[in-house]
Amino acid sequence: MQKTDFIKAVAERAKVSQKETKLIIDAALEVITEALARGEKVTLTGFGTFEVRSRQAREGVNPQTREKMHIPATKTPGFSASSTLKEAVRG
């Protein structure tokens, strides 16, 4: 499902226009993105939790030259599904 399909489905279910739905979904995604950028965790009860995960620095190997290289520590967004969502997916 693409974003436009998602917007259409939400608009139909909520009985509002696709234009309004797009604004709401875009705003929600912006709020989640900004919270993660500040290092905050976003929990949507019954759906899951978005959080920032840290990856430690490590040594890697360049596959072309086989030369060892340092890979710096980094932060990445992560998502953990709630038990409710997991059960719904399992059927």
Cα pseudo-dihedral 51, 6, 10, 35, rounded to 10: 20
* Tens-place pLDDT, residues 13-28: 999 999 999 999 999 9
pTM: 0.80
CA angle 23, 25, 30 (to 5 degrees): 95
Q: Are residues 51 and 69 in the same domain?
A: yes
Mean pLDDT rounded to a whole number for the chain: 95
For 61, the domain range is: 39-90
Q: What is the CATH number of the domain that holds 59?
A: 4.10.520.10
Q: Are residues 54 and 16 in the same domain?
A: no
